[in-house]
Structure 1
Amino acid sequence: MFKKLFGKKETEKFLSPLKGELIPITEVPDEVFAGKMMGDGFAIVPKDNTVVSPITGKVINIFPTKHAIGILADSGREILIHVGIDTVELKGEGFETLVGIDDHVEAGQPLLKVDFDYVGKNATSVITPVIFTNLNESETVTLEKQGAVEQGAEGIISIK
């Protein structure tokens, strides 16, 4: 609590939630995400079917259609992992949740299994935005690398 009061930030360990291709949020084929209307972030074109928690925290939301999960990091950051574009239309088909609301999760812990073959054939895109929904107005997400990224990789982004 004192660190928050005096403006000191704990070092956050943030992992890639998927194996795939890391791309800027502005390249997501959806204007809500690309325009950062929900917050700044990044996206991954997935190459594996398991989504892991990028941070240690608490699951605060799982959409009924299982296509999106919200996590409150122990540091206070809120993260939304939205698997694919227009995947709400799939009504949960192709998704298997591995955690529940209010579960405490560790960075790297599996959250979801996704049948990306099914999603790719039945949704607009498999591109998966990862959004920080409660950044300060002055904070932005910067990609520290682009292109191929392994699941669980550290140092992929910075928030400044």
Structure 2
Amino acid sequence: MFHFLKGKSKENVLYAPCKGKVVPLSEVPDPTFSEKILGDGFAVIPSEGKIYAPTDGEIAMVFDTLHAITLTSSSGTEILIHIGLDTVTLKGAPFTAHVAAGDQVKKGDLLMDVDLDKITGAGLNTVTPVLICNTDDYEKISLKKEGEVSLDEAVLSIS
């Protein structure tokens, strides 16, 4: 009855940004991510080279080297999708962006095509961390799913 009294306690959910295997950040072989320096979240080892919006929101930034995208969800969650490790060194070669800063997106919209073979061919890891950059704004961030995922599976809950 008094739903307006609940305020920000509503649970938000992030979905998988790609098909693949979800792993906790602690398993990412880069301390910037595994030690949650940039925020809490999860990572996906992609099985195909397409990155989709994990929730509804607005694209805040597409990095010049196309290796990362930030978006702000419609509920204010600041999300970083970092495609692969050290992929900034590839200067955009394996990436094709389908969005730009300011674009409104819905969960499941295609954000980026990625040539995973170019990443692995350069000796780099394709693991893709998905971080909540404003982690301190939330009481609880928890992994809902590990292992193989499809795009319609909720992976992270934020409250």
Q: Identify whether the pair has TM-score above 0.5, normalized to the shorter chain.
A: yes
Q: CA deviation at 1:99?
A: 0.6
Q: Which residue of 1 aligns with 2:21?
A: 21
Retained in 2: the 8 A contact 1:89–1:123?
no
Q: Which residue of 2 aligns with 1:64?
A: 64
1:4-19 alignment runs, 5 A limit: 7-19=7-19
Query: TM-score, normalised on structure 1?
Result: 0.90
Q: Which residue of 1 aligns with 2:130?
A: 130
SS in 2 for 1:14: strand
1:33-48 alignment runs, 5 A limit: 33-48=33-48
Q: CA deviation at 1:157?
A: 1.8
Letter in 1 for 2:49: N
Retained in 1: the 8 A contact 2:80–2:130?
yes
* 1: CA distance, partners of 2:76 / 2:119: 31
SS in 2 for 1:8: helix
Unaligned runs of 5+ in 1: none
Q: Which residue of 2 aligns with 1:118?
A: 118
* 1: CA distance, partners of 2:33 / 2:151: 22
RMSD, matched Cα: 1.9
* 1: CA distance, partners of 2:23 / 2:16: 12
Unaligned runs of 5+ in 2: none
SS in 2 for 1:136: helix
Retained in 2: the 8 A contact 1:10–1:75?
no
Q: Which residue of 1 aligns with 2:156?
A: 157
What do the CA deviations read for 1:53-83 (whole angstroms, capped 9, x no partner)? 0011100011000010000111000000000
May I ask how many residue pairs the two structures share in their alignment? 157
* 2: CA distance, partners of 1:13 / 1:124: 29
1:144 lines up with 2:127 in the alignment: no
What do the CA deviations read for 1:24-44 (whole angstroms, capped 9, x no partner)? 011111010001000001000
